Amino acid sequence: MGPQQGLMGSAVRLGAASDALAALAAYVRLETEDLPADPQVRHLLAEVAAEVLGCDLGQASGPAAAPVVGLARAFLRQAAELVENPGRSGGWDRVDVPLLQSIGRLSMAICDAVLVAEAQLAGLGGRLAAPGARFLDVGTGTGWLAIALARAHPGVQVVGIDLFQPALDLAAGNVAAEGLNGRVELRLQDAAELDEPDGYDAIWLPMPFLPAAAVPGVMAAAARSLRPGGWLLPGTFTGPDDRLSRLLTDLRTVRSGGHPWRPEELVAAIAGAGLADAMEVPRTWPAPVRLYAGRRR
């Protein structure tokens, strides 16, 4: 058996990918946060970034930079936790501030998917541009998606709800630091107990964090809370389209407390909640999320 085969050879090959992700995120931080660095380290990080990005290093200081750092931190911390606690069941009942903030930063990239959907889903873009528009961010966590949505839609009132008070405490600090207290409202609330008829123009559902048994109740409550013609926007994790990546996505979902939905299964669930035009939005954004939609009649 050669050196590139077997258990150790496979581990070394996979380790290079995690090292590259960490190096890319480190380079982005140096470019966006004005951090000090040893010149040789900075040079090598730039070389790695150029190799990964195809020499287009301008991307590392652009608007997509913060979610990339969040992705790296979240994936690497979750990977370390998986090694330490390999049999743990799903759920979010532990206070790991860096991990919670990293997942929140990563969720900012979901805003790009919403912006794409606005051009594809009847009336959604116009609704979110209209005076009095309201967006519900279910499972807001540390609030970074709500912040990104408020930035992208200057007239929208964003409401973020979550069941985990420690995450909401962090969200309150993040919203205040971004100067958005008047635009983003945070609540400790169960999405299945929503009682706001005709309350929102769009509602985001983070499917990887919703237990399968809770989904019918959450979707029913969300459907009642949409304004006529408003859109429900459930999203799932995704990644490269190969078997290993799909298995890793399913594992990340289950350990997050959710169900590994297949597209046809989730579209059927959306239609089963009484929503029209149930569909998957064609993915043209780089964020590792698949977006689905259903419209209140």
Strands annotated E in the chain: 134-138, 157-162, 184-188, 200-206, 226-237, 276-280, 289-295
pLDDT of residue 141 exceeding 90: yes
Q: Given this model, what pLDDT does residue 1 score?
A: 47
Q: What is the pLDDT of residue 146?
A: 97
User: In the CATH scheme, what is the code of domain 101-295?
Assistant: 3.40.50.150
Q: Stretch 62-75: mean pLDDT, rounded? A: 80
Identify the bridge partners of residue 279 per DSSP, sorted by sequence position: 293
- Maximum separation of any 2 CA atoms in the chain, in Å: 67
Three-state SS at 228: strand
- What is the mean pLDDT of the segment spanning 60-75? 80
What's the pLDDT at 75?
Answer: 87
- Residue 5: what pLDDT? 66
Cβ–Cβ contacts within 10 Å for residue 88, how many?
11
Instruction: Write phi, then psi, for 232 (nearest 5 degrees).
Output: -90, 135
Q: How far is CA 92 from CA 86, 88, 89, 212, in A?
A: 16, 11, 10, 15
The answer, yes or no, to whether residue 98 has pLDDT greater than 90, is no
Q: Are 127 and 226 in contact (CB under 8 A)?
A: no
What is the average pLDDT across 21-38? 90
pLDDT in tens, 79-95: 888 898 898 776 656 66
Q: Using alpha carbons, select from 234, 275, 264, 3 the residue that is nearest to residue 110.
A: 234
pLDDT digits (tens, 9 = 90+) for 235-272: 999 999 999 999 999 998 998 999 999 999 999 999 99
Domain ranges in the chain are 1-62, 101-295
- pLDDT, average across residues 286-297: 95
